Amino acid sequence: MQKKLNLTEFNSDTLALVRQIIKRYPEGRQKSALLPVLHIAQAENNGWLSAETMDYVASLLDLQPIEVYEVASFYSMFNLQAVGNCVIEVCQTGPCWLNGAEELLAHFEKRLGIKPGETTPDGRFTLKTVECLAACGNAPVIQVGTEYHENLTPQKADVLLDKWQEENKISHTNPYLL
């Protein structure tokens, strides 16, 4: 398992971005910036939100830490536990199921040697199941960071996995830099 460095503070560029986001809301409504800022913080903290990270976000937005915890724990995209470098999220809802999502998931499990919710011992991959990703016409679908991969088959999944192995794929990047 690679050592996870916890984020301490945003750099000046990221802080400028946060300030710009806060300006989108009326005076005193900076709490509205919470979801965008949590997305950024998670990306900067190796793909998950530690208590320290959430406390830092609370201080940035002038909120009580509990206000951040209760929100972070509500939304499924926020990881409250450490994850691997590359998080693979496999859709399992009806339309994807009709098009072979179960076989696809089984293939990922076999290739990676882990079950959904687990991380490979080398810390490279985490496997997750997720609900409908709004891409049902191109089922089955997976999400990796901000990327969608659609019309997947086990063969196509192998090609992707080989590539990600080789480049040591990191799926958590600041989505505002897209």
Partner 1 sequence: MATQILLNNIDVPGLANFEVYRQLGGYSSVVKTLKNLTPDQVTGEVTKSGLRGRGGAGFPAGMKWGFIDKKSEKPRYFVCNFDESEPGTFKDRYIGQRNPHQLIEGMILGAYALGAGSAYIYVRGELFYVLRIIEKAIEEAYKQGFLGQNILGSGYSLDLYCQPGAGAYICGEETALLESLEGKRGNPRIKPPFPALVGLYGCPTVVNNVETIAALPWILNNGGEAYAAIGVENSKGTKLISACGHIKKPGVYEIELGLPVEEFIYSDEYCGGIRNGHKLKAVVAGGSSVPILPASLILKTAAGEPRLMSYESLSEGGFQSGTMLGSGGFIVMDETTCIVKNLLTFARFYHHESCGQCSPCREGTSWMEKILHRIENGQGTMKDIDLLVSVSKHIEGNTICPLGDAAAWPVASAIRHFREEFEEHVKLQKCPF
- Is residue 65 near partner 1 by the rule CB under 8 A? no
Which of these ranges, 118-126, 137-145, 155-163, 164-172, lies near partner 1 under the rule CB under 8 A? 137-145
Counting residues that bind partner 1 (by CB under 8 A) gives 43
Question: Using CA atoms in the order 64, 146, 80, 22, what is the torsion angle rounded to 10 degrees?
Answer: 0
Phi, psi of 89 (to 5 degrees): -110, 120
- Cβ distance to partner 1 smaller for residue 6 or 146: 146
The answer to whether 135 contacts partner 1 (rule: CB under 8 A) is yes
Place of tokens 């916890």: 6
- In the bound state with partner 1, the residue whose beta carbon lies nearer, of 84 and 145, is 145
Out of 2, 76, 81, 165, the residue judged to bind partner 1 by CB under 8 A = 76
Our separate counts of H helices and E strands in the chain read 7, 4
Directed axis angle between helix 12-22 and helix 34-44, to 10°?
Answer: 160
Q: Tell me: does residue 98 bind partner 1 (CB under 8 A).
A: yes
